[in-house]
Amino acid sequence: MKQVLPGIWQWSWFSEEKQIDFNGLFLNVGEHRVLIDPPLLTAEASTLIRRQGGVDYIIVTNRDHLREAATFQAEFRCQVQVPEADLAQMDIKPSKTFKDGELLPGGIWVVQLKDQKSPGESALFIQQGKGVLIVGDALIGKPPGALSLLPSEKYKDPQAAKEGLRRLLKYNFDSILVGDGASIIFGAKQAVEQVLQG
């Protein structure tokens, strides 16, 4: 587990099947400690989280990023929040669902994205430093230092999916923390612009 930004740590679990890192985030923001899209925790990551005081909330960005959320919900006795539009396709009883424009604990804004792999796909925006954007499956960090869309067969309409991502450019951010692949800490907005031009 490594600290990527002030109050934000990332850990990874390599998926042999997908040949990419699945990333989880631990945020210690304000009075809240939040996990986002958590994969399996290493012993080191678990120790760090416990030292910080445990977990208050788990936020899941889409139906396919539940990962270990139910396990950690039981372990840390915390709340789980998921996209309302994906709830019917998720095998979990969340404490709360969220929709576009909501402010979640820790000053995390929900940015729901249209025409993505799942109807509830949501990016999360934090106004910290030069701005931090967190994405689940909206964009993947592949190759390292750049971003890409999922394979076209994952979308009903790949062009509409790309158009749906243009909304991200309305936000001011320098970092993008991805659920899959390599995150970009500096210059992320330019990387988003590049993938949407292609």
Give the number of domains in the chain: 1
Q: Which of 191, 169, 179, 196 shows the shortest CA–CA distance to 134? A: 179
| The pairing of beta strand 122-126 with beta strand 108-112 | antiparallel
The 3-state DSSP class for residue 137 equals coil
Q: Report the run of H or E that residue 197 belongs to, with start and end.
A: helix 188-197
For residue 78, the enclosing domain spans 2-197
Using only C-alpha atoms, the chain has a radius of gyration, in whole angstroms, of: 15
| φ, ψ of residue 48 in degrees (nearest 5) | -60, -45
For the chain, 198 residues long, give each residue's pLDDT as a single digit of tens. 999 999 999 999 999 998 999 999 999 998 999 999 999 998 888 999 999 999 999 999 999 999 999 999 999 999 999 999 999 999 999 999 999 999 999 999 999 999 999 999 999 999 999 999 999 999 999 999 999 999 999 999 999 999 999 999 999 999 999 999 999 999 999 999 999 997
Residues in the chain: 198
Closest CA to 50 of 29, 28, 17, 82: 28
Q: What is the pTM of this model?
A: 0.96
CATH number at residue 172: 3.60.15.10
